[in-house]
Homo-oligomer: A and B are copies of this chain.
């Protein structure tokens, strides 16, 4: 097997993600939220509980606590106690939250798309499959 330089691969991945995200960071903050908060907003529909969000996004639980608190204060998110399990906080996008979420994800998709656009559609699917296989 070819010799692997872990620092190089790590740096490659890291830089790719960071450069894409920082290229849209200012546009996103103009919407009234931080980049990480946008990632949270984008997953609320699919994972409507903080613990699920933390797992799905590989974020620490305390960070999710913080982001949810800010998103709620900003009026982008509503939180209510789950009647079936009193520990859980069920989250729901407000209409304002859904609007900025859609605008933000559109921006991110365009930025990622610029990079992914260097690959064919088949290659994009291949990339995703390879990453999933390694996880």
Contact = CB atoms under 8 A, between A and B. Distances in A.
A128 B42 contact: no
Contacts of A123: 130, 133
A6 B123 CA distance: 16
A: contact size bracket: 35 or more
Interface string A40-58: 0011000000000000111
B125 A56 contact: no
A82 interface: no
Given A118-B133, A130-B123, A133-B119, A112 B6 contact: yes
Interface of A: 1-7, 9-19, 21, 39, 42-43, 56-58, 105, 108-109, 111-113, 115-119, 121, 123-128, 130-135
